[in-house]
Amino acid sequence: MTYTATEHYRQIFDRRTPEQLCTLSHVKRFMERLAGDLEFRRALSENVDSPRAVTERYRIGVDPMKMLPLWRGGYLKHRFKPESEPWPWL
């Protein structure tokens, strides 16, 4: 039997617990807002010290500080390096 890309990607989700899937969906919502919503990006930049208030307002159940290198340019250099340990959702 041939192993298809569809099966591969389905297993990515099958291996996750319901809690992990919930977190993943909220990270996805955060990234969608970040990419497509100027007001969301503006609110984050205006609330750098308390970005969680912004995600709560948008009902996004993740802590932006746990993925700082994804949305704060100065932290991008830490992605895929040992020092990225403080940001578990990268």
Q: Can you spell out the DSSP letters for 5-64?
A: HHHHHHHHHHTS-HHHHHHHHHHHHHHHHHHH-HHHHHHHHHTTT-HHHHHHHTT--S-G
Which amino acid is it at 41? R
85 pLDDT exceeds 80?
Answer: no
C-alpha to C-alpha distance for 23 and 80, rounded to whole angstroms: 20
pLDDT band at 87 (very low <50, low <70, confident <90, very high): low
pLDDT at residue number 88 = 61
**Contact of 53 with 47, CB cutoff 8 Å:** yes
Q: What is the pTM of this model?
A: 0.75
**pLDDT, position 14:** 86
Domain ranges of the chain: 18-84
